[in-house]
Amino acid sequence: MTRKGKAGKKELSPIDIYKLLPKTNCKECDEENCMAFATKIVNREIQINKCLPLLKEQNSKAYNQLKEMLKPPVKEVVIGIGD
């Protein structure tokens, strides 16, 4: 459920993040449930490593996917050319 943002880039929604979370609603991250945690991730108010179940070995694939999804875009820099 991503939507297009500026310059046609896909913006993440809380649902995109929630799909990869363990969905335990354990509150170890201090949020009421995993959807609230996903919303805070999208808003960059919390980091994914606050979800302790996500750090378990059986969730490593989802953790790595989330890290990749949340990486900031990298702008190519060419020396000698403006902006």
Which of 1.10.15.40, 1.10.645.10, 3.30.450.20, 1.20.1370.20 would CATH assign to domain 3-70? Answer: 1.10.15.40
Helix (H, G, I), strand (E, B) or coil at 4: strand
Model confidence at 78, pLDDT cuts 50, 70, 90, reads confident
Closest C-alpha to 61, from 31, 22, 33: 22
For the cut 60, the answer to whether the pLDDT of residue 8 exceeds it is no
Kindly report, residue by residue over 14-29, the tens digit of the pLDDT.
999 999 999 999 999 9
Measure the CA–CA gap between 83 and 61, rounded to whole angstroms.
Answer: 37
**What's CA 57's distance to the chain center, in Å?**
18
Mean pLDDT, range 38-49, rounded to an integer: 96
Long-range contacts, 24-31 (Cβ 8 Å, 24+): 24/53, 26/52, 26/53, 28/52, 28/53
8 A C-beta contact, residue 41 and residue 17: yes
